[in-house]
Structure 1
Amino acid sequence: MINKISNVNSYKLFGIIAASLLLFLSIRCSDSNTNEDTNKAEVHNESEEHSDEIFMTEETMKELGIEVKEAGSGVIKNYIELTGEIIAEPSRISHVIPRFEGIVKEVFKTVGDKVKKGEVLALIESNESLATYEVQSLIDGTIIEMHMTQGELIGNELHAFVIADLNKVWAIFNIYQKDLGKIKAGQKAIVSIGANDSQETGTISYVSPVVNEKTRTASGRVILNNQSGRWMPGMFVTAKVHVSEKKYPLVIEKTALQTLDDKLVVFIKDEDGGFHPSDVKTGSENDDTIEIISGLKAGDKYVSKNSFILKSEIQKESFGGGHVH
């Protein structure tokens, strides 16, 4: 009887030991799986941290037109933009009037021709003396108007020709009342007809002391050299007038800014040659440059031109695409 009890107790002890061993192994397996999942998560997170970094060779950057500059202090200039038109300088316009009424016998010049002072423009037969006399140019310039044809009767009260010396022209601009206190004679103005290669820096030589009653604007004038002939009377032009400037600790080119995930970013070049976006806070600005308050520091290398290419690469990566190398 004692032996049977002993055998039963042995079986119970064996069962307890086996159950404990299984429980221990189960816990070890669970810990192992947990650690493995943790490691996978760490690897995944590390991959996510670097997913916004773009690597690109110097050759590829050159082909894509990507330029890098060093961030530093700079001056931001403030401008006021004006609109206006080109006119011929009034003192350089000549109105040619026949001396006597008569018949136009011959015309030698027409609109657009360049003439010299004293050059014969036409011949007219006088009605009084029946003698033929010459109509001559009074200045060097270009014929911009002509009001006579061969065989017609022309009086001595009409302008037969209008000649203008266009080597210098005036750019006349409209200045709004709110800007009159900021714009003065002597300030520099960049006059432009839209294209970058068609602009010239001049000086405001005159600001009208009166305001037009209809437009509520005053007039400003910039005298332009026009030997090339690109500034034609009647052209619509704009002018950027430099009115103030201030130096800031950190200024970059405005073309460097991109919007990524609704945030304003600048792409910074890392020491390993990669590029990553950095959220920035901006301050004062003009059309070309902008102050950076945070997100960039002096000495950082940033993408100043064609940074939109890096932005598109990051967006492509987020949709499962690959990076450019």
Structure 2
Amino acid sequence: MSEELNEINKKPFYKKFSIYQVIAILGVLIIVVFSYKMFFKKGEVIDDTSKDQETEIENKISIPADILKNYELGFTRIRERGFNEEIILPGKVDYDLERMANVGSRVPGRINQVFVKEGDMVGKGAPLCSISSVELGTSQATFLKSKAKLETLKVQYERAKELYEKKIISAREFEMTNVEYKTVKTELETSYNTLLVYGLSKGEISNLEKGKLTSNQMPIRSPLAGTVTSRKAIQGQAVVAEDNLFVVANLKQLWIILDVYEKDLYSVKLGAEATIFTLGDKPESVKARVAHVGEVIDPIKHTAEIRLEVDNKDFKLKPGQTVSAKVQGLISESKSRRIMVLPAEAVHKIEGKSFAFVANEDGTFIAKEVEVGETIDDDIEIREGLEPEMNIVTKGSFIIKSEFLK
């Protein structure tokens, strides 16, 4: 017997127990540890609840009735609304048609000199090329002839008027002189305006009157300040009035043209902000605004054009360029989700945290810290901190905030 006991004692400790005894011991240990954790976890919950109660007591606000009566308070409850992602639309950069011009000759002729090339910046009135025109020479001659004739008739008219007043000549004779004088005066005005239409300036016509300019060379001038974006004029080229020889545009202001489906048009408002995204290895974003919403729906595509205006003072955008755009208020229903919100006026920033003021039945208020998310129109997303049944102060909540900060 003693020998058997000695054999048992010589065995390692873990071999002195059967497998069933080991399992039983482990089970007891697990129950003890689990019970211990549950006990202390329960204690922590009790402690957290206690802390929440203490925080509410600290954030409780009482405002004297004589102060509160001077302010009108508004109340609301947290509510659900849709949150939608903005639609990304493809678009094209285009000229601002009010800041660009097709420039050509107003008379038939032949180009004898070109002064600019594509990419050149020109001022208003700058010469782009010069045209040699027989028709211009004829119009100049007509103008000078009418002017000389009018000067002669003016002397005759004044003499006839004097004689008529002295009753030396008849009324019929005076009237004939008067009619001839007015006819030539009208011819002179017509020929003067013709020269203006052909592109001569008033200064050049004045020089023509003084005999300083008698040439059939006519400069083609830029009607605005901008960049020469297209040149079709070639020295020696014959031209007519229908030919467009240059395009000059102010590229500091451009248009973005977008196609919007008719079902989404109601969401687009004049003046709404838009963000333009360029394509390429280094995409950039540019701010723009909605300047026009098309009145006509394309019957095939079921879209209407909207036009954005964009400042392009750094010349990042170019006419014809492909871009994409997000327009404020233009949302995608297919990707909508629901969120809880409050009016933005009900949420206040205090020391870097967001608070809303809850009205109690006893007339007091509690400052509740909230976790906020997206701002949508006049609403702000509330992710955590409020319950649906709580009455939240909106209008006049600033007075509650003032008392809370005292």
Establish whether residue 226 from structure 1 lines up as the match of residue 312 from structure 2: yes
Show the counterpart of 1:18.
Answer: 3
Establish whether residue 135 from structure 1 lines up as the match of residue 213 from structure 2: no
Q: Counterparts of 2:267 and 2:241 in 1: how far apart (Å)?
A: 48
Contact residue 288 and residue 311 of structure 2 kept, 8 A:
no
In the alignment, which of 71, 82, 91 is matched to residue 89 of structure 2?
A: 82
Contact residue 100 and residue 127 of structure 1 kept, 8 A:
no
In the alignment, which of 233, 258, 282 is matched to residue 173 of structure 1?
A: 258
Q: Counterparts of 1:141 and 1:86 in 2: how far apart (Å)?
A: 17
Show the counterpart of 2:302.
Answer: 216
Show the counterpart of 2:75.
Answer: none
In the alignment, which of 92, 115, 123 is matched to residue 122 of structure 2?
A: 115
Show the counterpart of 1:184.
Answer: 269
Establish whether residue 28 from structure 1 lines up as the match of residue 16 from structure 2: yes
Structure 1 residues 242 and 114, CA, compared in 2 at 3 Å: closer, same or farther? Answer: same
1:162 is displaced (CA, Å) by: 1.7
Contact residue 270 and residue 290 of structure 2 kept, 8 A:
yes
Q: Percent identity?
A: 26
Q: Counterparts of 1:190 and 1:92 in 2: how far apart (Å)?
A: 22
Contact residue 291 and residue 308 of structure 2 kept, 8 A:
yes
Q: Counterparts of 1:23 and 1:177 in 2: how far apart (Å)?
A: 92
Contact residue 279 and residue 322 of structure 2 kept, 8 A:
no
Indicate the SS of the match to 2:92. strand
Q: Counterparts of 1:222 and 1:175 in 2: how far apart (Å)?
A: 12
| Counterpart amino acid of residue 3 in structure 2 | A
Unaligned runs of 5+ in 2: 31-82, 138-214, 332-336, 342-373, 375-380, 386-406
In the alignment, which of 172, 178, 203 is matched to residue 289 of structure 2?
A: 203
RMSD: 4.1
Contact residue 103 and residue 127 of structure 1 kept, 8 A:
no
1:170 is displaced (CA, Å) by: 0.5
1:147 is displaced (CA, Å) by: 2.2
| Counterpart amino acid of residue 297 in structure 2 | V
1:292 is displaced (CA, Å) by: 12
| Counterpart amino acid of residue 235 in structure 2 | Q
Structure 1 residues 178 and 18, CA, compared in 2 at 3 Å: closer, same or farther? Answer: farther
Contact residue 83 and residue 239 of structure 1 kept, 8 A:
yes
Contact residue 104 and residue 122 of structure 1 kept, 8 A:
yes
Q: Per residue, is there more strand in 1 or in 2? A: 1
1:97 is displaced (CA, Å) by: 2.1
Contact residue 77 and residue 242 of structure 1 kept, 8 A:
no
Q: Counterparts of 2:133 and 2:247 in 1: how far apart (Å)?
A: 21
Q: Counterparts of 1:138 and 1:87 in 2: how far apart (Å)?
A: 20
Indicate the SS of the match to 1:180. helix
TM-score normalized with structure 1 length: 0.54
Q: Counterparts of 2:307 and 2:228 in 1: how far apart (Å)?
A: 24
Contact residue 112 and residue 143 of structure 1 kept, 8 A:
yes
> Based on CA coordinates, which of the two structures has the bigger radius of gyration?
2
Structure 1 residues 246 and 193, CA, compared in 2 at 3 Å: closer, same or farther? Answer: farther
Structure 1 residues 241 and 100, CA, compared in 2 at 3 Å: closer, same or farther? Answer: closer
Establish whether residue 106 from structure 1 lines up as the match of residue 91 from structure 2: no
